Chains A and B, each alone.
Chain A
Amino acid sequence: MKDDLFFNIDHGYLEGLCRGFKSGILKAPDYHNLVQCETLEDLRLHLHSTDYGSFLANEASPLTVNVIDDRLRDKLVQEFQHLRNASYEPLSTFLDYITYAYMIDNIVLLITGTLHQRAIGDLLPRCHPLGTFEQLGAITIADTPAQLYSAVLVDTPLAPYFIDCISEHDLDEMNVEIIRSTLYKAYLDDFFKFCKDLGGVTADVMCEILAFEADRRAFMITINSFDTGLTQDERAKLYPTCGHLHPDGLAELRRADSYEAVKEEYKLLFEGAGSSTGDKTIEDKFFEHEVKLNMNAFLRQFHFGIFYAYLKLKEQENRNIIWIAECIAQRHRSRIDNYIPIFP
């Protein structure tokens, strides 16, 4: 009741604005037009007539897919920053939580780049703008996770997530991925707890979405770790615990040693997902399910889930456009229809 009555005082305008943004997401006829483009110039023309407008207007004539990718991301970041700047508590904390995921990605990107002896000047522009924080540039000076934590990360909002992964091992390739997974697990569990504390419709909607995200992470970690040297126990430490699989499904996933064993859970999703090139991969099925959950978030009013859902849907749309652009640019149009449709 308190949700319905008083939500609009602080967050009503932003909700209306976010729904307006969502109505600009490309629909099936737009995708038909895009798929029929012959060159990237045609793509630019067709995007001009949608909600994107003239966002590519200032680009030089030989358009590349990288440029399109950057401009799409800039537009999304601009919209998100506007929402964040105009928000009150607790919506601003909620939006901050969403950016922590990008911060984790940026940190891992910088550490990996440093390991490969890239210059900091090359790496910083490749960081995701939503995940920047002040000490980002200082990450390259650290050699071990302990140094990383005490020098750079202790002042950032990610500090509590680092408790689990301070070890004396040096930062090398394998460990960086483990660090990423550990951080993400701590972040996801924390975000889930925050949404649950918010209560009401937000908790209903967000906990559903985050539980699916947790399960998806568990699957991907399992499947991707089959050929690496990761033991079952180490793997189990990386599974986020806020999903539907916890605790029984996660115990089974721990023991799984092959792709077949993993299939027992989430049977419906795995049906029809083969590993041959013609079928959709399991990642595509996960994307589809995620899009469905995010669209469902818009069916209810007066909650924060629509902001999260809008960001994820827009990202999916960006991935779709880049997929179509790549297919056009490489003239390999056989799988151009493999984008994930958002509006049915």
Chain B
Amino acid sequence: MVSQSNICLTLFSAAIALFIYVGLTYMLTNQGYRFDVGWFLMAISPYQWALTGVALAISLSVSGAALGIFATGVSILGGGVKAPRIRTKNLISIIMCEAVAIYGLIMGIVISNSIANYSTNDPTLIAHKYRAGYKLFGAGLTVGLCNLFCGVCVGLVGSSAALADAQNSSLFVRILIIEIFGSAIGLFGLIVSILQ
């Protein structure tokens, strides 16, 4: 563990040192103009932004759902050995995690449906296209990250719910309420994305 964090620290500081060195070189040789953020952003086509948004939407949501499902599933298995009655009821937690992945899927489809071909030379229209690209990227990133954390949250709470249910069945419904609130986070991400 310690050596792992040592390696990370070394790589990170090496990267920063390199960055500072390159930056200083450019600055001191009067080539500062070559470090052009604007050119960089313009050079990336809006298609790339939009499609990256789609990728982020689906992949991050699925990661969140996966983290949640394995956290809950393992606890249901463990708790179900000595208390078999919890097995069926606790599948609700897994379904709620799955819903998170479905949000991501829906947004991915919605975003990719908004992508259309364009060919124009009018600078105002090009600015519009770029803005559309950025918005779609933002939408995808929003829903992806929201669902990632929502999935993790619902999964951890579901794991505790399974173990608590094994001890005392009256606790399950109450912990389910906590999970519903956790699920609402994912829904927020979905709504904001759709508005984009």
Contact = CB atoms under 8 A, between A and B. Distances in A.
Contact of B78 (A4, A16, A23): A16
Nearest to A17: B78
In the complex, which of the residues A4, A18, A19, A23 has the most CB atoms of chain B within 10 Å of its own CB atom? A19
B77 A23 contact: no
Given A15-B75, A16-B75, A16-B163, A23 B70 contact: no
A14 B82 contact: no
Interface stretch (B24-32, B123-131, B152-160, B176-184): B152-160
Interface stretch (A5-13, A104-112, A246-254, A310-318): A5-13
Contacts of A13: 74-75, 77-78
Interface residues of B, number: 21
B166 A19 contact: yes
A272 interface: no
Nearest to A12: B74
B83 interface: yes
Interface size for chain A: under 10, 10 to 19, 20 to 34, or 35 or more residues? 10 to 19
Contact of A12 (B67, B83, B159): B159
Contact of B77 (A4, A9, A16, A301): A16
Nearest to A19: B163
Contacts of B82: 17, 20-21, 23-24
Interface in A311-340: none
Contacts, number: 63
A16 B70 contact: no
A19 B71 contact: no
Interface string B80-97: 111100000000000000
B104 interface: no
A301 B160 contact: yes
Interface in A18-54: 18-21, 23-24
B83 A20 contact: yes
A20 B156 contact: no
B166 A23 contact: yes
A8 B81 contact: no
Nearest to A197: B1
B152 A23 contact: no
A12 B75 contact: yes
B105 to A, nearest CB: 23
Nearest to A10: B74
B158 to A, nearest CB: 11
Given A8-B75, A13-B78, A14-B78, A301 B159 contact: yes
A12 B80 CA distance: 12
A16 B67 contact: no
In the complex, which of the residues B67, B71, B77, B80 has the most CB atoms of chain A within 10 Å of its own CB atom? B71
B79 interface: yes
A305 to B, nearest CB: 15
B162 interface: yes
A19 B163 CA distance: 7
In the complex, which of the residues A4, A12, A14, A301 has the most CB atoms of chain B within 10 Å of its own CB atom? A12
A166 B83 CA distance: 50
List of 4 A-B pairs having minimum Cβ-Cβ separation, nearest first: A16-B78, A20-B82, A12-B74, A16-B79
23 contacts: A5-B71, A5-B152, A5-B156, A8-B70, A8-B74, A8-B159, A12-B74, A12-B77, A12-B78, A13-B74, A15-B78, A15-B163, A16-B81, A17-B78, A17-B81, A17-B82, A19-B78, A19-B167, A21-B82, A23-B83, A23-B167, A24-B82, A301-B163
Given A4-B156, A13-B78, 5 more contacts: A5-B152, A8-B70, A12-B78, A16-B76, A17-B81
